Structure 1
Amino acid sequence: MADEIIRDIFVRNRGLPVRIDYVQGTNAVPLKFQFRDYTVPSGAAARIYVKKPSGKEVYNSASLSGNTVTVQPTTQMFAEAGEQEGQLQLTSGQKLLVTFPILFRVERNLISESAVESTDEYGVLLQLIGDAEKAVASANDAAGKASAAAGKADRAAEAAGSAGTKAEKAAEAANTAAGSASSAASGASQAAGKASAAAGEAAEAAKRANDAADKIDGLLDGSAYTELENKVNAILKKMAGTITTE
């Protein structure tokens, strides 16, 4: 594309040095580097390091797509006129690749020659610090959540223990009630037996009472008396006969 500066990068042999011309204090045109003799691992990270004529440094992140690294220059990267060298850095886990030096020839910017003060720029380090701070914050948040979860677990365990105690007491009360019910049933059975016996005795007493009443009725109407009188007269007759014979 017309708005990019594209260069091929070789890492197996130095070959011809890579040169890029740029204007001081500008940052509009991206730099695109294509690796030709090396396959960039998936998940790798790309960075660019530049050392300016004054000795000040720029160390920033770059974007990576396949085997192509794209660098978006910053104002500080080319803040000083003159020749300066830079290198691309690729990291993948414990593996590290650094390219041969790239020569940047920075031409003076007459319009704003003194408008930009050259300083060190460590975008990568700032990013790493930011990532570390986020990681610490995330870890603290996770620790807080873990502590809260542990507290809830302790309260749940305490509640479970209390519930277990209540359940044991309820089971004990149920067993006691069952025993009382069994005793009551046994007592009721015994009472029923006694009631049945009492009913038999009452029936027998009623029979005897009826017999006595019949006898009383006989005496009252004279039938029983007449029968007794007849028996006495018969005995007297027998006695009289016996006396006369002798």
Structure 2
Amino acid sequence: MDKHIVEAYVFRSDLKQTIYYTQGTDALPTLFLFKDYNIPVGTSVGIYVEKPSKKGVQSTSATLNVNENSILVDMDKQMVAEIGTAYMQLRLTKGGKELFTFVQPICVERSATPVVSENGMPFLDEAIAKIGEATEDTKAAAKDAREVAADMQQKAANGTFSASITVGEVINGEPGSVAVVKNSGTKKDAVFDFVIPTGPQGPSGVMAPSTGMYCLWVDPATGDLWVDYPDGTEPPDFRYDNETGNLYYDIEREDGTVASLLIGNVRNPLINNVTTTTPGQGALDAAAGKTLQDEIDAIKETLKNVLSTK
């Protein structure tokens, strides 16, 4: 016999036998024979092993035989790297639906040649690191928000900030021309007209940015929204409204007034960082988003009072 043979059940967990391995053995695969479930054609298989230390190993090294209704798992040294009881689970996926087997105990006996146990799921460590980075970024953003709020409150108290701002005409300029913003209103009640140059055609239908302008594009594989702007220039000033999900392009005048151009609504649903398969996504909202939102609310309240002052 060149492999372990185990009967597998998906409707009950009391009929299972312990598999015995010597630490570090990877020459003996394990054959799971399904007794109460017929594996459909086109099913893909994933393997997960939890070691005694709770470190994990993920693998797709398995051969599925529909005719024999079996799955042959190619064992990895890391699956049996630690002495004690490890637990293996198979994941069967077809048509977006998943079936998980009950955990299969693996008893690992001591070997004279020790094996260094590693974490075969590094994305967990990466996710934790990204959450930490997002938390620090949020703290910095909250600090900036407090400073902006204090500055606006001081301007309001001095009576130096009172204006209305609207967006006027938006015109497409010639390719290669310079973007122009013109106030067709007054200093107090500004109306900003935009001349936006048409960018040259870039690869995959993405418009390449021209001098003084930028372009937005969406990555169809990830859904991420990107902004391209010429090298050596400052990135555009974008502002995200956390309450509405709107993304704005802000242009600040020398007298302190600001024009806002609505780019679109880019709200994403809050993602559970523990279960997401995309590490770090949504970490800003989940880690410390409320702190930043409190500061944004304070700024909005200040702006409401300021813009009502004539």
TM band (smaller chain):
0.3 to 0.5
Higher helix fraction (1 or 2): 1
Q: Bigger radius of gyration, 1 or 2?
A: 1
Higher strand fraction (1 or 2): 2
By relative contact order (CA 8 Å, sep 6+), the higher-ranking structure is 1
